[in-house]
């Protein structure tokens, strides 16, 4: 077994290698027409948020009842829970040392409230929500205006508006954020239309819409950028969400379907690039790199932040097991989201999907957890030892020390011919979501999302119930796979989603 310091060093080295490779790709693509890569960074500002604040954001904004008090289960002398806690306490000092060095995991929700048009399959009254407590664990940089102004933004496949902070915004914490300044741009044009978005708790953001140059590369790249002229976006003059004060981001990039846009005639940057024939291929690749856990996975904490990339016009074949041919494609069946049929949910080689839960799901980078029906969440947790549901808040809670594959994943710098790092043959240590006849797993150690108590034994589960219309496959699912979004025609009438195993993530079979 690796010593803690060795595990920490390995994780930092892996993260540095992955980041260097991504940045090198971005520089190389800067001069290639029709392709662009937006590197992603982990936002550390959310690591110190309390679990009650995170849960309030993640769940209540989806309309799931939540109370701050969570009661731990009683200890039954000689029972499994009692024995597990005693074993946990024998290693407490070791884990507290790691915890003091590296902090805890946090992965908040970011979806904006959108009252959407009718969607026959996914529900006619679907409401998307955004947490007012936190934004996203990953962010990237886009550039606006002439000359270009770089803005850090949260990328969200579950909403469709792009908005930036205006320089006149008094609630945007501009002392530690970046506003877009229209007066500095020679190509800026005010549309004179008002804009507003409501949040799930009744708060919101408002401002006005604008037109200007929007670039998929940063200001230090002068040639070869993917650029949209006179692109419509919003400037927020008021944001009544306190989480923006500590966030790294100064706005949001919506990447769902255009029908979700709150702006009149609003389009996503992906849709606009497709319709204007800017891309070499009409595809958007998504790679969210999760935090490296090393020895610390046993207490629900992580040793370093992840990264990743959004790639416009191509997919990163070297990060996909089997290259692009390794992606499993399925048609989008939602009118609003990147929604698709979900064949089954399995644990231990058997189906846990009940007959009443709709067999459909959406891929949403703006939601950090997997949120599904009440019945399916209960069925999944029935197969996780010592899992229980808080009577006061309805939150599913599991032991932080979850099983992992023997030896853990051995991350390495991938190449086009890379094989998976580790094949986990223990079907009981993962939850599998079956899409287009193929199983895609999420390890239980990832589901131990956020430590609930100071002792670090109980963790909030990464699967929660309360959304009955479809299952939300958020970042908890996406960071374990490679996801590609594709326009099959320029009008967006036919869309597809591709999902594949990653070369830098252990593969579950």
Query: How many CB atoms are closer than 10 A to CB 493?
Result: 8
| Short-list 86, 452, 453, 470, CA closest to 462 | 452
**Tokens found for residue 227:** 């650029």
Two tokens, residue 17: 């290698």
Are the C-beta atoms of residues 438 and 328 closer than 8 Å to each other?
yes
CB atoms within 10 A of CB 382: 10
CA-CA distances (angstroms) from residue 86 to 91, 327, 386, 490? 9, 44, 14, 60
Residue among 361, 373, 393 at smallest CA distance from 157: 361
Q: Vertex 330, ends 36 and 115: CA angle to 5°?
A: 75
Q: At 506, is the secondary structure helix, strand, or coil?
A: coil
- The CA distances from residue 132 to 47, 421, 474, 488, in Å, are 16, 38, 18, 35
- The C-alpha atoms of residue 336 and residue 338 are separated, in whole angstroms, by 7
Provide the 10 A C-beta neighbour count for residue 100: 8
CB atoms within 10 A of CB 164: 26
Mapped onto helix, strand or coil, the DSSP state of residue 245 is helix
Residue 298: both structure tokens together: 């046993």
Q: Please confirm whether the linkage preceding 63 is cis (ω < 30° from 0).
A: no
Instruction: Decide: 171 and 159 in contact? Cβ < 8 Å.
Output: no
Active site residues: 156, 364
């Amino acid at each position: 077994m690796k010593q803690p310091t060795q595990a920490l060093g390995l994780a930092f080295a892996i993260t540095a290698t992955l980041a260097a490779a991504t940045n090198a790709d971005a520089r190389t693509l800067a001069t290639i027409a029709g392709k662009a890569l937006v590197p992603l960074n982990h936002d550390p500002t959310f690591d110190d948020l309390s679990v009650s604040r995170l849960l309030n954001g993640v769940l209540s904004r989806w309309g799931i009842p939540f109370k701050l008090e969570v009661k731990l289960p009683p200890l039954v002398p000689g029972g499994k829970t009692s024995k597990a806690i005693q074993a946990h306490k024998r290693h407490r000092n070791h884990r507290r040392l790691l915890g003091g060095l590296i902090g805890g995991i946090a992965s908040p929700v970011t979806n904006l409230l959108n009252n959407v048009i009718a969607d026959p399959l996914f529900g006619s009254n679907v409401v998307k929500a955004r947490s007012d407590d936190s934004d996203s664990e990953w962010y990237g940089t886009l550039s606006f205006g002439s000359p270009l102004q770089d803005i850090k933004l949260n990328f969200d496949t579950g909403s469709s508006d792009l908005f930036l902070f205006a320089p006149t915004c008094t609630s945007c914490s501009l002392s530690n954020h970046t506003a877009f300044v229209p007066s500095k741009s020679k190509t800026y044009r005010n549309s004179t239309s008002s804009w507003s978005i409501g949040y799930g708790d009744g708060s919101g953001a408002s401002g006005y819409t604008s037109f200007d140059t929007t670039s998929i590369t940063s200001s230090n790249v002068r040639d070869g950028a993917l650029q949209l002229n006179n692109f419509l976006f919003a400037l927020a003059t008021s944001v009544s969400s306190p989480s923006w004060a500590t966030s790294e981001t100064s706005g949001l990039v919506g990447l769902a379907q255009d029908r979700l846009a709150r702006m009149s005639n609003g389009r996503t940057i992906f849709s606009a690039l497709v319709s204007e024939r800017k891309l070499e291929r009409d595809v958007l690749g998504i790679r969210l790199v999760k935090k490296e856990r090393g020895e610390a996975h046993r207490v629900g904490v992580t040793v370093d932040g992840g990264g990743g990339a959004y790639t416009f016009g191509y997919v990163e074949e070297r990060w996909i097991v089997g290259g692009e041919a390794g992606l499993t494609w399925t048609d989008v069946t939602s009118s609003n989201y990147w929604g698709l049929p979900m064949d089954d949910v399995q644990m231990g080689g058997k189906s846990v999907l009940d007959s009443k839960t709709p067999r459909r799901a959406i891929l949403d980078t703006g939601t950090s957890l997997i949120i599904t029906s009440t019945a399916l969440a209960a069925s999944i947790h029935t197969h996780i030892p010592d899992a229980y549901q808080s009577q006061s808040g309805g939150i599913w809670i599991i032991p932080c020390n979850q099983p992992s594959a023997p030896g853990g994943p051995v991350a390495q710098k991938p190449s086009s011919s890379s094989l998976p790092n580790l094949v986990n043959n223990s079907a009981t240590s993962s939850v599998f979501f079956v899409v287009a006849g193929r199983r895609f797993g999420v390890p239980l150690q990832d589901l131990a999302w956020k430590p609930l108590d100071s002792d670090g034994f109980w963790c909030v589960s990464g699967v929660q119930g309360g959304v009955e219309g479809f299952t939300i496959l958020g970042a908890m699912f996406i960071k374990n796979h490679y996801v590609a979004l594709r326009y099959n025609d320029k009008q967006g009438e036919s869309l597809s989603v591709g999902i594949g195993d990653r070369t830098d993530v252990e593969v579950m079979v």
